[in-house]
Amino acid sequence: MAKGLTEQQDNLAIAMIRGLAMDAPLLAKSGHQGTAMALAPLAHVLYSRVMRHDPTHPTWSGRDRFILSNGHASILQYAMLYLNGYGLEIDDIRAFRQWGSSTPGHPEYGHTSGVEVTTGPLGQGFANAVGMAMAERHLRARFGEELHDHHTFVIVGDGCLMEGISHEAASLAGHQQLDRLICVFDDNRITIDGTTSLTCSDDVEGRFRAYGWNVVQLGEVADDLNALERALVAARRHRGSPTLLVLRSHIGFPSPDFTDAPEAHGNPFGAAHITATKRVMGIPDEPFWVDAEVVTALREHARARGVAARELQQAAEARADDRWHRMWNPSRSAAWSSAAPTFDPTTSVATRVAVQKAIDAARDDLPGLIVGSADLTGNTGAKMTGESALSAAHPEGRQIYYGIREHAMGAVAVGMALHGGVLPAVGTFFVFADYMRPALRLAALSRAKVIFVFSHDSVGVGEDGPTHQPVEQLASLRVIPGLRVVRPADANETAAAWRQACDHDGPTALILSRQNTPIVTDGRAVERGAAIVRDTDDTPQLNVVATGTEVALAVDAARQLGEAGLRVRVVSMPCLELFAGQDPTYRSHVLPIGVPVLSVEAGSTYGWSALADDSIGIDRFGASAPGNVALQRLGISVDNVVARARDLIDTLGA
């Protein structure tokens, strides 16, 4: 039994967890109780005997991290946070899955104290855990075990391991030898459609051993608290590889009606079934029943265990050098000692090249910066010159080689960001943002500070053809709430966009060119989302709004139109979201009311109708050809801008 808790208190704690796991979904008429019931003993052992945590200071840097990757079982985590004193009370449990409650359908980072990451899409939490373990080991390598020596515990189910992201993340974790990562596989063999034998015959243990994990088959110990504790402690002591504990559990246990039944997965038990189960457990048949004395004992026990560990850790933090504090509390770019890189205005520079120079310039001012790419390091600009690779042998490295694992890379970066102490930047070709969509969405939902570097941003990719030429990706990323999407026009805007991304308290996607582009801006457009880069002496007859490499093209077109006596203003709009958030005075200054607008962007025109009267874009897939040929044939050319501008002036101009 846990020191400070009696056997009776342990048993009542588990019974209360199971009772709440049934009552909350019944009241909500929605939820998953079966997994939470089966894993109640495991969760109790983790929180009361194994994990280092302090409910009074839930975000202290030295705590162990707990992730429920199978987030549909969220009532299990909420029950633990309630019983251990993280601020949830019984009324919060009653409000499970209701509007405005602290107990939403899946755990959400920043919404409920004690929730480390936002989980729900299966497998994402597992990959987040890999990122947290990588961040912990990196910090430990740089600052020592006195400051960093904690573990990441993650529970996964069959669904998490079926999703493809788990293969990528598990492979990376094994290669990196993340021995502070402990994963418990809830082997209940049940999915919504039925038993896993319908769809899957994987040898999970063999698979993880092949990845280089320490695999331990626990067998039928899901209700044996001491056996669970021994297994978790042994995993915590293991060195040299991450650990997978395979736990055979029985979904819905101890229900006399639905143990090991698919019905226990996603359908709330009826009142009669709950009554029968509570009779088996020997607790009162009362909705949301808890033993107040045991709740008090559990909370006191959690505080007593947590305070000593936290105070020891915080004493070490007080002795830490300035570099450690700057990693956990990075300064804004205005206070950096370095200047943004400068570029010869007579040259042409690909924005993917410019971002790498901006990264190098920021390296010393951001000691927590870690940069990596999915096998495209030199191609994307996601690189710090002279930095060693972060590896099992050199965990202090600041350059990560993720391999061809975009799906996992995005989620790993989110886990690193939410761990704290590091700022992850990850890069790949823009078209492969499609592989990373779940991670991008969850980064935005949780406001994880990740910088996503996407290069090769248009059909200018060229010969690789439509499979590699992004056309719909810009529009699709812009509709993700909370994801700041920036497509800089040139090297100056790229440098400004990088610094802005480092300052932003949330995720940023930088969309960068493969091909060289002239330097036509001073970078100011980034701050407010848009700015005038070429103006007219009198009120313009037309505003041409462009992003990325098309800004230079628009400037050339405006020059030709000016020589013909037409007044055309050019606006660079690297971030539509930021511009939309500016005050009306600034917006009307940049785009005067009554002056027609022509947008130019080498991608889908979806969304531009809110700003533009006409749009030049690419509303079809591309084609295999040299990049300049593909752009020209698809209408991204000076001649086409000139012709369309004339038509719009003739139709709507003053």
Both tokens of 154, joined, read: 């993650």
Both tokens of 293, joined, read: 């004395």
Which of 428, 388, 429, 431 is closest to 412 using CA atoms? 428
Give the CA distances from residue 72 to residues 86, 108, 322, in Å, rounded to whole numbers and listed in that order.
20, 12, 41
| Residues whose CB falls within 8 Å of the CB of residue 437, separated by 6 or more in sequence, listed in order | 476
Both tokens of 511, joined, read: 């969309």
Rounded CA-CA distance 108/101 in Å is 11
Beta bridge partners of 600: 546, 616
Q: 130 with 169: CB under 8 angstroms?
A: yes
Rounded CA-CA distance 59/538 in Å is 57
| Residues whose CB falls within 8 Å of the CB of residue 528, separated by 6 or more in sequence, listed in order | 578, 579, 582, 586
| Residues whose CB falls within 8 Å of the CB of residue 603, separated by 6 or more in sequence, listed in order | 458, 470, 471, 472, 473, 474, 475, 617, 618
- Taking 3-state DSSP, the helix, strand and coil percentages for the chain, each rounded to the nearest 5, stand at 45, 10, 45
Catalytic one of 108, 168, 387, 406: 406
Both tokens of 203, joined, read: 């040898």
Residue 582 burial class via C-beta count within 10 angstroms: exposed 0-12, middle 13-18, buried 19 and up: middle
Q: Residue 369 is inside which H or E element, if any?
A: strand 369-373
Q: Residue 65 is inside which H or E element, if any?
A: strand 65-68
CA 37 to chain centre: 29
Active site residue 220: no
Looking at the chain, how many residues does it have? 654
DSSP assigned state of 132? H
Terminal alpha carbon distance of the chain: 83
Question: Across the chain, how many H-helices and E-strands are there?
Answer: 26, 16
Strand, coil or helix: 185: strand
Known catalytic residues are: 406
